[in-house]
Amino acid sequence: MDFAEKLLQAARRNKSLLCLGLDPDPELMPKTGIIEFNKAIIDSTSDLVCAYKPNLAFYEALGRDGFTALEETVKYVPDNIPVIGDAKRGDVGHTALAHARALFEVLGFDAVTVNPYLGRDSIEPFIAHADKGVFILCRTSNPGAGDFQDAACAAGQTNGSPQPLYQLVARKAQEWNKRNNIGLVVGATYPQELREIRQLCPQMHLLIPGIGAQGGSLEWAVRHGTDGRGEKAIFSSSRQILYASRGSDFAQAARQAADEVRRQINSFL
């Protein structure tokens, strides 16, 4: 089963477009180990999500113990729920090839996030894995996204006018998507751009961060981020769910928070 089918089945089975970020922060976590924390979160939410998304930085910052925790976490996720490695990799071809092998073959992710700044050859080693998903950073959710992503690009003119870089990225992703395994990362914090990108890429999966702690409008993101069937969008949340409680009831609190976000998403479909 490829990533797209696995994601679709999980979303329909759990009636959920919620992707839970597994981003352990020792300063916010209750007093428990990372592996134990992640396993408890997964146990309490696996019927409420369509995917999990560990951000590699939180594990890399912990050295060898963090890498072990990441491996154990990926293995612990039920086989019928896809795991997206939030790695944001993007480098020259031979390095990208090593990154793709590490993320897909060693760590076993079903999909990853990648940075397109170096161009197609930096993306090709990832999309060559036809059964895996590749989410290209397009319009990110952070405040400084516009520093480069809003820049006018003469190389991608439409109707004789330059287009912003994020639109050029979306069009290039469409062009490269020969294996139908490319998606885009588009932040809910930029609602007009989200709507534009969905119009440019009506059939592409969108990974949409920025709801919850970052303040993006969930209603707008659902209405303008999903496709014509109310699917092909993944709404990512981490802190508001993971750290709903810092007490011994953290797993139960995370479940309640995840279920509330899932219900809100479904109410806007």
Q: Which residues are catalytic?
A: 88
* CA–CA dist 29, 241 (Å, integer): 12
Sheet holding 182-186, edge to edge: 51-53, 18-21, 233-237, 205-208, 182-186, 133-139, 111-114, 84-89
The residue count of the chain comes to 269
Three-state SS across 111-125? Answer: EEEECCCCCHHHHHH
* CA–CA dist 195, 241 (Å, integer): 26
Q: Which of 138, 103, 152, 147 is nearest to 208 (CA)?
A: 138
